[in-house]
Amino acid sequence: MRVIRVLHLGGIQTLLDWAAAEGWNPGLEDAKAFQAADPDGFLGAFVDGVMVAAIAAVAYDEKFGFIGLYICHPDWRGQGHGRAVWDAGIHYLGSRTVGLDGVPEQQSNYASMGFVAAYETVRMSGTLLAVPSLATPVDSLDGVRGMDVFPAARDGFLTQWIAAPNRAWRTRAGFGVVRACTEGQKVGPLFAADVIDAMELLGRVEGAVQIDVPARQTNFLDRLETLGFVPGFRTTRMYRGPAPKLDMDRVFGISSLELG
β-bridge partners, 4: 45
Rounded to whole angstroms, the Cα distance separating 61 from 27 reads 24
Which pLDDT band holds residue 169 (cuts at 50, 70, 90)?
Answer: very high
User: Given this model, what pLDDT does residue 132 score?
Assistant: 86
26 neighbors 182 (Cβ within 8 angstroms)? yes
Q: What is the pLDDT of residues 75-91, one digit of tens each?
A: 999 999 999 999 999 99
Q: What is the pLDDT of residues 94-146, one digit of tens each?
A: 999 999 999 898 899 999 999 999 999 999 999 999 888 899 999 889 889 89
Q: What is the pLDDT of residues 16-57, one digit of tens each?
A: 999 999 999 999 999 999 999 999 999 999 999 999 999 999
Torsion sign, CA atoms 198, 134, 210, 173: negative
DSSP-derived letter for residue 114 is T
What ranges make up the beta strands (E) of the chain? 2-6, 42-47, 50-59, 64-72, 97-102, 116-128, 136-138, 167-170, 175-180, 185-191, 207-214, 230-240, 251-253
Where do runs of H (alpha helix) occur along 113-183? 155-161
